[in-house]
Structure 1
Amino acid sequence: METEIKIKKADLSHLQDIVSIINAGATSIRKDKEFDDWQEYRPAFEALIAAPEADIYVALSGDGDVIGTYQIHFLKGLAFKGRPRAELESVHVRSDQRGTGVGRLIMEHAEGLARAQNACMVQLTSNREREGSHHFYRRLDYDQSHLGYKKMMI
């Protein structure tokens, strides 16, 4: 199945599916804080794809269905002699596709983009409730090196 999967930059035609996938994976901190109408995400999506330091990607099945998504942001900083960091956000695989290799392909794709930008590291956060995701990232040699904090402003 993996050979049929294609990862490409998302476009507006993918937005409804992206919103569906990320909202389906919402944990307690986000539950009931997201919008039902996918069209309300359009301005944020358009701003994201227009930003030079960020992109959003989709994983497509052989039939063209959106089965996964992720965002990548390149952050500037002084550490590591100014090399950028690649930060992944909203890494999601459609629930019926988990365990099929889609997530691994997404992560390989993101790491390839990070290497191409000479990033010093790839970093991400994962909600503490997503234990399956934590196991997945550890299997891919990601180190849980930091303790993260968030303050919801909505």
Structure 2
Amino acid sequence: MEILPAALLNGSFHVRRAEPDDVAPIVALLQADAPGSRETPPDGQGLEPYQRAFDAIAADPANFLAAVEDATGQLAGTLQLTLIPCLAVGGATRLQIEAVHVRADLRSNGLGTAMMDWAAAEGRRNGAELVQLTSNAKRDSAHRFYQRLGFEASHIGFKRYYPPLP
């Protein structure tokens, strides 16, 4: 996926590809917002599982992990974009947007909307014909946000965790 760095909200924020040094701040942002216990790795693992996931994301040309910075260079938000070619929907390529998080002190200022608008435009620029996302069932305010942006709750999602490996 070819994504170019971008300025959001009149240059107050910048989107760029996440780098290895962004893993810890992104994980902290995700954990601060986590409605469930699965956001935290088992004791003693630290950032290793996240670093492995980051390496896989960074190596996959269909994925883009965004680091959104404020004017001081601090992490302000993040999201992950994945292009998924599908046989369903007439063979359309889908843009999957995941792990959308904005730092708590920056919410309700338009940053989330700007991030989502940017993501949708980048997906379209990369050939996506459909934008989709999932959101934890416990994140009611996020659901209202996505609905304001025109997303419809069209499907019911399911997941099943594997038991931990020995």
Same structural fold, with TM-score higher than 0.5 when normalized by the shorter chain: yes
Between 130-139 and 31-40, report the one with greater CA deviation: 31-40
Q: How does 1:2-151 map to 2 (within 5 A)?
A: 2-3=9-10, 4-28=12-36, 30=38, 33=41, 37-151=46-160
| CA-CA distance at 1:14 after TM superposition | 1.3
Q: Which runs of 5+ in 2 are unaligned?
A: 1-7
Q: What is the TM-score normalised by the length of structure 1?
A: 0.91
In the alignment, is the contact (CA less than 8 A) between 1:7 and 1:109 conserved in 2? no
Query: Following TM superposition, by how much is the alpha carbon of 1:21 offset from its aligned partner in structure 2, in angstroms?
Result: 0.5
Structure 1 unaligned regions, length at least 5: none
- The number of residues matched between the two structures is 154
Q: Which amino acid aligns with 1:9?
A: R
In 1: Cα distance, 2:39 partner to 2:55 partner? 24
TM-score calculated relative to the size of structure 2: 0.85
User: Contact between 1:80 and 1:120, CA under 8 Å: does it hold in 2?
Assistant: no
Q: CA deviation at 1:112?
A: 1.1
In 2 relative to 1, CA 34–132 (structure 1 residues): closer, same or farther, beyond 3 Å? farther
Structure 1 stretches of 4+ with a deviation exceeding 2 A read 28-40
Aligned partners of 1:86 and 1:122 also within 8 Å: yes
